[in-house]
């Protein structure tokens, strides 16, 4: 097996779901490939984070809305009432299962265009530089896509809504620079924060969810401070993205889930 064949199987391998022969082939490959071992470690780290996270609460009225949908679509027949009761119960059970593992919010896969492929490559180049401690990492995307330095008012004008990137985050992270960037996928404001003279958080505000920015990096969803968050490992830190009013925010450089919960709460528009 080569890396292209093994990587899609790592999640099932981690969960013990591969048949014996296939699992043996993956083990043989992992013994020879550090890159795939690193991918497997990412799966293990993210799974550990999810296990430690609280179970999300279901959206209000979820089961009731499922019941109404089943009732509308049930075919009228002598057995329709019995079938409706059975389907309603089955739908409620299915909803409960989805809620319990934290994936009730639909995952929407966007078609991959040439522009999005460029953005995936560029964003992962930025993440690799950030993880390696490259002092120039925070400026990579702005340099490639001709980002313009703006102030807080200019960031709001560019986004066409009030920026939620406040001058200070968690009492000790200070804005160092704001950049308005016309990326291939969307218009985005990147706010770079520093703490004790070093780049800390890199915060992106964008209109649509951009889960494909992370390419093949393992992703998990969990609820944090009442928000459905997508988490990605970046070295010893996390990248997290979640919805805010009229858009989404992505933060690079989060220390752990506790810090993420504090950020989610603080960045909620007032």
Q: What are φ and ψ of residue 197, in 5° steps?
A: 80, 0
C-beta atoms surrounding 141 within 10 Å? 21
pLDDT at 232 over 80: yes
pLDDT at 263 over 90: yes
* Domain regions of the chain by residue span: 3-48, 116-267
> Is the Cβ–Cβ distance between 174 and 194 less than 8 Å?
yes
At residue 82 the predicted structure's pLDDT band, cuts being 50, 70 and 90, is low
Q: Model confidence over 174-205: pLDDT tens digits?
A: 999 999 999 988 899 999 999 998 999 999 99
**Nearest partner of 232 among 252, 210, 207, judged by Cα:** 252
**C-alpha to C-alpha distance for 254 and 236, rounded to whole angstroms:** 9
The model's pTM: 0.63
**C-alpha to C-alpha distance for 232 and 257, rounded to whole angstroms:** 12
Q: What percent of the chain has pLDDT over 70?
A: 72
pLDDT at 245 over 80: yes
Q: Model confidence over 112-169: pLDDT tens digits?
A: 444 667 888 899 999 999 989 998 999 999 999 999 999 999 999 999 999 999 999 9
The structural architecture, per CATH, of the domain 116-267 is 2-Layer Sandwich (3.30)
H-helix or E-strand spanning residue 224 = strand 219-224
């Amino acid at each position: 097996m080569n890396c292209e064949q093994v990587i899609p199987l790592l999640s099932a391998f981690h969960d013990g779901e591969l048949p014996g022969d296939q699992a043996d082939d993956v083990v043989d490959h992992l013994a020879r490939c550090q890159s795939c071992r690193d991918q497997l470690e990412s799966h293990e780290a993210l799974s550990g984070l999810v296990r430690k996270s609280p179970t999300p609460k279901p959206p209000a009225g979820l089961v009731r809305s499922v019941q109404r949908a089943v009732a509308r679509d049930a075919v009228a027949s002598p057995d329709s009432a019995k079938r409706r009761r059975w389907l309603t119960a089955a739908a409620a059970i299915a909803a409960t299962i989805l809620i319990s593992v934290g994936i009730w919010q639909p995952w929407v896969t966007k078609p991959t265009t040439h522009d999005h492929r460029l953005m995936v490559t560029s964003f992962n180049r930025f993440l690799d530089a950030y993880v390696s401690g490259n002092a120039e990492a925070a400026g990579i995307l702005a340099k490639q896509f001709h980002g313009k330095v703006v102030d807080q008012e200019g960031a709001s004008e560019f986004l066409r809504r009030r920026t939620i990137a406040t001058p200070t985050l968690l009492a000790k992270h200070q804005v160092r620079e704001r950049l308005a960037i016309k990326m291939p996928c969307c218009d985005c404001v990147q706010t770079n924060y520093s703490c004790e003279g070093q780049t800390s958080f890199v915060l992106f505000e964008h209109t649509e969810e951009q889960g494909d920015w992370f390419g093949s990096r393992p992703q998990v969803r969990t609820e944090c401070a009442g928000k459905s968050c997508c988490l990605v490992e970046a070295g010893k830190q996390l990248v997290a993205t979640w919805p805010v009013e009229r858009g989404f925010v992505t933060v690079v450089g989060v220390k752990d889930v506790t810090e993420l919960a504090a950020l989610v709460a603080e960045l909620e528009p007032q």
